Amino acid sequence: MRLIAGFKKGEEARYLSHLDFQRALQRLLRRAGLPLLYSSGFNPHPLISYASALPVGATGALEVVELQTEDISEAEAFALLSAKETPGLSCVRVRAVDKDFPSLTPLTQAAAWDISLVLEAAGEIKGHGRTQFAPTVKRIREMLSKPIIVQKKGKAGVKPLDVTPLIYEYAVAENDAGALVSLVGAHTPTGSLPVALLAKALLEGLDTDGYHLIHRKGLLTRPGNGGGWVNIMEY
């Protein structure tokens, strides 16, 4: 049977590469005793497929994988996985799907992100709490309303890319450390928003000391009826 499982990638796993994340997840699955199905051949491996890789340094609220298993209920699978959580990696939800459910990669059309810009207050209006970063928020909104050119590395080398058309919607708000940019961006096999490059460009445009933190809230798709974005776990 096919199970779609969502895992939280927390702070402890922030700097795991996608390959390291895969290894950690497979160890969790083995310890949990989930009745996985395996490929045939000389070197059988568990039948697992991943919706999307996270950038190194990013956390994720709901990283989605497909697991092919022997017959087991959603509740039983979730109980097994929840009992063997590891620091930075925990199961959030398990859902059984039928054979007609689409594969995760072509199903995914967008991703929801939070970019936290942690800034030094120097040069800002002094105040209490969030008021000191009001000019920063205004500047970020100005930058996002215009082309933002980043240097993206690909098979043909490094090329300039305007990321603005890949941002479908966004909101900017102050917080105690600086600013929070929440956005929905393109996320398909043929073109995805390079969120880490965008975060870097925003910091450079602010011309102040600081760093960024990236958190993926979910992978999204649009239902066939033309409705709004929905998490692929809810499709």
What are the strands, taking DSSP E only, across the chain? 2-9, 48-50, 58-68, 89-97, 110-119, 149-154, 157-162, 167-175, 178-188, 191-192, 210-221, 230-231
98 three-state secondary structure: coil
* pTM for the structure as a whole: 0.91
Q: CA separation (Å) from 229 to 43, 111, 221?
A: 40, 9, 6
Q: Is residue 35 scored above 70 in pLDDT?
A: yes
- 120: confidence class by pLDDT, cuts 50, 70, 90: confident
Give the domain 2-105 fold.
Alpha-Beta Plaits (3.30.70)
Provide the β-strand partners of residue 110: 186, 220
| Range with the poorest average pLDDT among 49-63, 98-112, 131-145 | 131-145
What CATH class is the domain 110-234? alpha beta
Which is nearest to 24 in space by CA: 71, 80, 76, 90?
Answer: 90
Please report, for the chain, the start and end positions of each structural domain, with discontinuous segments joined by +. Answer: 2-105, 110-234
Mention every residue, 6+ apart, whose C-beta is less than 8 A from residue 55.
195, 196, 214
pLDDT in tens, 173-200: 998 889 999 999 999 988 899 999 999 9
